[in-house]
Amino acid sequence: MRTILTALALTGLTFAQPATFSDRDPHYKLQSEDKVEVQYRYTPEYNATVALQPDGYVSLPLLGEVKLVNLSLEDASREITAKARERLADPEITVLLKEYVKPYFVVAGEVNHPGRFDYHGDVSLVEALAISGGLKDSAKRTQVVVMHKTGTDLAEVRLLDVRKLMNGTGVREDIAIRPGDMIVVPRNFISKIEPYIRISETSLYSVILGLK
């Protein structure tokens, strides 16, 4: 039986250095397809309402392309202001969120109702599995994968023992799911998985679900 590492190697996925999950940030982070309004206090002729492209950039009058994906509105304002200083004297810029992609998480694999679910408030891993109908008898409870994209080609990955999380002593170790997270409950044995991976054309969950 092939391990998950063997499958990842065959698909060309590469690994980054280990790191722990970062703490959740209460401020909304801009995502692809979000729409923002950029307002100039002293030069309103450069005001624009633009959508984040799939690569995370926006195209602005005067400034050209600026990358805003994964930035808070405050950080986006600072990023645009810094670039505007190359053309304008002491610009004051405000970024407003006009439209956003509804947050969600995905559960795949050995659960009763796999799919994409709306993200409402705080959701833990155990709660996410319950929302997806619970684990099947064929689920590998000791090796559940949680993947969080941190860039266009990099994902943060954890391998968790849900069996421990569901008992009285391990409930405090339950982790928070973040918008956009993917949870994969495998049937096959996973001997080891790196905490970060690079994503190629074949996504992680497709690799896991493809193991026989």
Tens digit of pLDDT at every position of the chain (212 positions) = 344 444 434 334 444 433 344 444 568 889 888 999 999 999 999 999 999 998 899 999 999 999 999 899 999 999 999 999 999 999 999 999 999 888 889 999 999 999 999 988 789 999 999 999 999 999 999 999 999 887 667 888 999 999 888 876 666 788 999 888 999 999 865 545 566 666 664 555 555 554 44
Q: Report the residue count for the chain.
A: 212
Cβ atoms of residues 205 and 193 within 8 Å: no
For residue 66, being part of any structural domain is answered with: yes
Can you tell me whether residue 98 is helix, strand or coil?
strand
Same domain for 10 and 66? no
Same domain for 108 and 199? yes
Of the residues 78, 99, 120, which one is the last residue of a structural domain?
Answer: 99
Task: Report residue 79: phi and psi, to 5°.
Answer: -65, -45
Can you tell me whether residue 12 is helix, strand or coil?
coil
**Alpha-carbon gap, residue 113 to 107, rounded angstroms:** 8
Same domain for 92 and 139? no
Select from 91, 90, 85 the least CA-distant residue to 39.
Answer: 91
For residue 25, being part of any structural domain is answered with: no
Of the residues 99, 119, 152, which one is the last residue of a structural domain?
Answer: 99
At residue 25, the pLDDT reads 52
Task: Report residue 124: phi and psi, to 5°.
Answer: -90, 170
Q: Provide the residue range defining the domain that includes 85.
A: 35-99
Token readout for 12 is 């060309």
- Element spanning 78, H or E: helix 73-84
pTM: predicted TM-score of the whole model, two decimal places: 0.56
Same domain for 66 and 125? no
Same domain for 54 and 75? yes
Same domain for 94 and 106? no
90 Cα distance to chain centroid: 35
